[in-house]
Chain A
């Protein structure tokens, strides 16, 4: 399985943008880049995903490098409710099983 590398932790001030980086240098052509987040005492929650182009939804934006070896999850205005562990995961659409393999993720702290 292709692997991702994320910082262990990051901090952000409330109402400021947050850029969460992810490196995936061994990504293959059929790998989708997925982001999930896990709030305290809850199961992981889908945030966003993309293949090649940048993506936006109501929760966040995903910026994908042209060579696809890295990506950045962007929270436009961090709130206290965004404090969570964020996981960057490669999902192989060619494998058929669509299994999510989680790393340790990035723990985001939001400072009031």
Chain B
């Protein structure tokens, strides 16, 4: 089966600019997650979707971050305006709800550098 696709692979922007990341999960996976991974740390959950609805966005900095999952398939994560501390790898993961106790599948991530 095809994996979780993310794009772009790398992005460099200046602070106060906006940026968007795209994720295409594994076909049929109803649950989708966005994680932020700062260098040297483990990934931190930003938001969780179930189909096209938000399950948990308690750790999403809503003043600058937004995410959507139209039609319950692809998802987009946006940052506007970006700050220097947003430099990180943004990871998307999906999971099959019918195999709830089993593993997530992660994409390779988008590495964002804010200068």
Contacts and interface: CB of A to CB of B under 8 A. Distances in A.
Interface of A: 32, 34, 36, 41-46, 49, 85, 87, 91, 93, 97-105
Contacts of A101: 45
B4 to A, nearest CB: 8
Interface of B: 4, 31, 33, 35, 40-45, 48, 55-56, 91, 93, 95, 100-109
Contact of B108 (A42, A91, A98, A102): A42
The secondary structure that dominates the A interface is: loop
A43 B106 contact: yes
Nearest to A101: B45
A100 B104 contact: yes
A91 B103 CA distance: 10
Given A43-B93, A91-B101, A93-B100, A105 B42 contact: yes
